[in-house]
Amino acid sequence: RKEVEQDPGPFNVPEGATVAFNCTYSNSASQSFFWYRQDCRKEPKLLMSVYSSGNEDGRFTAQLNRASQYISLLIRDSKLSDSATYLCVVKGAGTYKYIFGTGTRLKVLA
């Protein structure tokens, strides 16, 4: 089983739609969680960290469910510019390694 798993997609959604991605992780000791966005042929860019209580940044909401070992990303009112691959990243306590999922591809259609 992979340490971090994501549905590769693609998720094709119309503009204005709400879309949600999940990411599951296998190590219950994981402590830090992030969502990154990667555009085609570009480097990953931090979208948001995921806090235990959940957090929101504009149209983006991240949630952590420790009991079921998954994190989620909700995008409301999708824009064409949201089209990208979304990477889930998990890090254990006291470790240096960041474990990346293979990403979920989102296409927002006009």
CB of 87 to other proteins, least distance (A): 8
Nearer to other proteins, 8 or 14 (CB): 8
Neighbours of 81 (CB within 10 A): 8
CB of 34 to other proteins, least distance (A): 6
Residue 34 near other proteins by CB under 8 A? yes
Identify residues 60-79 at the interface with other proteins (CB under 8 A).
none
Helix, strand, coil proportions of the chain in percent (round to 5)?
5, 55, 40
Binding flag, residue 32, other proteins (CB under 8 A): yes
